[in-house]
Amino acid sequence: MTYSLPMGRKFPKITIDLTKCTVPFLCKKCLQACPMAVFNVTRVMAKEKRLEEMDPRIDGNYVLRAPRRDKCTVCNVCLDICPVDAIKIDVPKQGHQKVEYVSAKKSQQKKSGTVEHDYFAELKKQPYPLFTAPKPYSFDLNEDMVQMVRKDFNPDKVTNALSEVIKGKSKAEAQKTGETFFKDMGEKWMRRTIQMGDEYYDRTIEMIMETVDRQGKQFLIFPHVLQRYVEIAYLATQDFLKVPVTLNNADEVAYRIPKCALYGKIEEKVGGDFAKLMTCKDYCHSALATAQKQINVDILIDQPATTAKEGFCEFSMRKL
């Protein structure tokens, strides 16, 4: 259904005196009173202040607007409730005709002298309940920590160690040695990741652990604690800047390694034939098994795709 409003229709014109309505964020009386939710309070979007938090108690940081004035019925409830008389509504009859509206309630109040002229000053004195200065939290991984894991487990170093142990061995022997090597190495890789990951907390994992420990909500351990270890491990050893996660829900985590840096190095230094044997998959499997032991949740680790066959590796961990 195509929708169109009657062109040329005039809507009530709502003018807000910003010299009177200075701290609308703290007041918001008109927002609550308006039957058609015509008003909203918005932050002043000055370009240079775009990334700053703005204290709603300071004059002019927030402004009151009437974005939905098409729905204004000129019932004048807002005029009655406004403590500083900042709102004016012009009726759309024959253009914008000015109509003086003096609220019965207001004029009574004025006579009896009960209008609070220092209304906003009173509001500003109260501490704003939600507003706190932005905390210097970091939600990102500690870069130094990632570099420290990378130092010991970068593909170059691992491949060099591999070529040392399989040097001069026959194909079958080399495969066997490679598998043992990767199993052992994978465990070390994940142990180091877990050690560093637990040492260098960021706010994201803190949020998870607070929910798990304080509120007893174990359901966040799988997938998110596991997912964090996996992400650190791969970010520290692969070339990409984010792990391509293909699934993360309460039952299953899956991710893809599109162009494995380790596989590339093995191809380059040891040879394409050896790489095709996919001995390196034990590296990832053993690492995932180590992470699983750490979080102590029963999961089934599967590898539906390998770099040798499909051109990318895919791993999935399903909760049992």
Contacting another protein within 124-143 (CB under 8 A): 129-132, 134-135, 137, 139-141, 143
Binding region for another protein (CB under 8 A) out of 46-54, 160-168, 178-186, 267-275? 46-54
Phi and psi for 144 in degrees, rounded to 5? Answer: -60, -40
Q: CB nearer to another protein: give 25 or 274.
A: 25
Tell me how far, at minimum, the Cβ of 151 lies from another protein, in Å: 15
Question: In this structure, are strands 245-248 and 299-305 parallel, antiparallel, or unpaired?
Answer: unpaired
Q: Determine, following the binding rule CB under 8 A, whether residue 201 of this chain makes contact with another protein.
A: no
Contacting another protein within 13-42 (CB under 8 A): 25, 28-29, 31-32, 36-37, 39-42
Q: Rule CB under 8 A: say whether 228 interacts with another protein.
A: yes
Residues 54-113 that bind another protein (CB under 8 A): 54, 56, 62, 65, 67-71
Residues 317, 300 contacting (CB under 8 angstroms): yes
Q: Which is nearer to another protein, 113 or 129 (CB)?
A: 129
- Residue 229 CB coordination number (10 Å): 23
Residue 199 dihedral angles phi and psi, to the nearest 5°: -75, -40
Distance CA 226, CA 205 (A): 11
Closest to 84 in 3D by CA, of 13, 29, 14: 29
Residue 315 binds to another protein (criterion: CB under 8 A): no
208 near another protein (CB under 8 A): yes
Other C-beta atoms lying within 10 Å of the C-beta of residue 57:
18
Task: Rank residues 8 and 113 by Cβ distance to another protein and give the closer one.
Answer: 8
Helix, strand, coil percentages, rounded to 5, for the chain: 50, 15, 40
Residue 65 or residue 188: which is nearer to another protein going by CB? 65
Closer to another protein by Cβ: residue 4 or 94: 4
Residue 165's H or E segment, with its range, is: helix 155-166
121 scored as a contact of another protein (CB under 8 A): no
User: Is there binding between residue 296 and another protein (CB under 8 A)?
Assistant: no
CB nearer to another protein: pick between 276 and 318: 318
Q: Which of 11, 10, 12, 14 is nearest to 88 (CA)?
A: 14
> 96 by DSSP, 3-state: which?
coil
Please name the helix (run of DSSP H) or strand (run of DSSP E) that holds residue 65, with its range, or none: strand 62-65
Instruction: Using the rule CB under 8 A, give the single segment among 2-10, 104-112, 265-273, 286-294 that binds another protein.
Output: 2-10
What is the smallest separation between the CB atom of 271 and another protein, expressed in angstroms?
31
- State the minimum distance, in angstroms, from the CB of residue 167 to another protein: 34
Residue 223 contacts another protein per CB under 8 A: yes
Q: Count the neighbouring beta carbons within 10 Å of the beta carbon of residue 266.
A: 26
Strand partners, 252: 318
Closest approach, Cβ 237 to another protein, in A, equals: 12
> Do the Cβ atoms of 23 and 123 come closer than 8 Å?
yes
Is 47 an interacting residue with respect to another protein (CB under 8 A)?
yes
**CB of 248: closest distance to another protein in angstroms?**
5
In whole angstroms, give the CA distance from residue 224 to residue 99. 61
| Residue in 235, 257, 288, 291 binding another protein, rule: CB under 8 A | 235
- For residues 182 and 222, which CB has a smaller minimum distance to another protein in the complex? 222
Supply φ then ψ for residue 147, to 5 degrees: -65, -35
> How far is CA 63 from its chain centroid?
27
Binder among 216, 241, 296, 320 for another protein (CB under 8 A): 241
Give the shortest CB-190-to-another protein separation in angstroms: 16
